[in-house]
Amino acid sequence: MEQRKPAWLKIRLQSGEGKVKVEALLKRLSLHTVCEEAKCPNLMECFNRRTATFMILGRFCTRNCTFCKVEKGIPSKVDQAEPAHIAEAVKQLQLQHVVITSVTRDDLSDGGASQFDAVIKAIRDNTLDVVIEVLIPDFQGDWKALKTVIAAQPKVINHNLETVPRLYPMVRPLAEYRRSLELLRNVKRIDPDMITKSGIMVGLGERQNEVLATLRDLRSVHCDILTIGQYLAPSREHHPVSEYIHPNIFERYRKIGIELGFRYITSGPLIRSSYHADEALDDGKFKSES
C-alpha cells in the first residue's frame, strides 16, 4: 500500500509571471531543464525566482536508474547550438549563479565532457559576472574527460552519490559507488582549489548507519558541500519510497556532517542538489577562493 505523504512534504502551489517567462524562454531556445524532466517538487518556486537547472545533451539518458524520471532511450545528436542558447538564457534571466547538468551519455566517447566545456565557455563569453556550477555524470571513469571539465574552471563541480553502496544494484545498476567517490577524489587531485559537491537521497531503504558511513566516505575524498533530500518516487513504476524521513533526522544528519568537516551542508525533505545552490557560497566559507 502506498504511504500517505506527511505534512512536512506538502508543497504550496504557486503560479506567477516568473514561471511563465522562464517556460517561454526555454521553449524559444529549445532548452531542457532537470526541473521539468525529473519532476522536481520545487519547480514552481524556482521558475518564479526566474532560475532553472539547465540539462544539456538532450532528453534521453543511457542509464537505467530506478529513482529517476528522466527518460531512457536512444539519445539524439549533440546540439552544436546548445551552448550559445544556454548562454543567451543565462543572460536573459540575469542569473548570478547557474547550474548546468546533463543526461548520462555513455554513447559519447568523452561522455559529453566537451559539451560541458563548450557551455561553460559560451556562458563566460556572454556574461562576465556569473558563478558556474556543473553537476556531472561519472564519465565511466574516464579521467581525461573529467580533466576537460576541470580545465574549463567552473566554480563548483558536483557529482551525486545518490544513495548508499548497498542499494546501488537496485537504484543505480549501471553506476559504481567507488567510481563516483574516485571521481570526487580526482577533482581535488587535479585541482585542489576546486569546490566539490555531492548529494544523496534518503527514504530508499537505507539505514542511518549507512548514511553516516557515506558521509564519512565523502569527507575522505575532501568533498566540500553536501545536500541530503527525501526521495519521492516519480511514479509507481519507479523504486518505491521505503520511508518518509522525519525532519529531525535530516537535522541530525546536517549536524553530523558539519562535525565531519563539510564546509556547507543542507539537509531537509524538499532539498535537491541544485535547490538554492547559490546559498552554499553566500556564507563566507568560500569567499577567499577565486
pTM summary value: 0.90
Average pLDDT score over residue span 111-126: 96
**Dihedral over alpha carbons 184, 250, 263, 56 (to 10 degrees):** 50
Per-residue pLDDT tens digits for 33-81? 755 544 555 555 555 555 568 899 998 999 989 988 788 888 989 999 9
CB contact at 8 A, 282 and 44? no
Domain boundary assignment for the chain: 14-281
Cell numbers 546536517 correspond to 254
Max Cα-Cα span within the chain: 53
Instruction: Provide the pairing of β-strand 53-56 with 32-33.
Output: antiparallel
Q: Which among 62-71, 72-81, 190-199, 271-280 has the top mean pLDDT?
A: 190-199
DSSP state of 77: P
DSSP state of 256: H
Question: What angle do helix axes 177-190 and 208-220 make, rounded to 10 degrees?
Answer: 30
* Of 82 and 33, the one with more pLDDT: 82
Q: What is the mean pLDDT of the chain?
A: 87
d(CA 239, CA 109): 30
CATH class of the 14-281 domain in this structure: alpha beta
User: How far is residue 43 CA from its own chain's centroid?
Assistant: 14
Per-residue pLDDT tens digits for 236-256? 888 999 999 999 999 999 999
% of the chain residues with pLDDT over 90 = 61
d(CA 185, CA 181): 6
CB contact at 8 A, 157 and 136? yes
Question: Which residues are CB-neighbours of 4 under 8 A, at least 6 positions away?
Answer: none
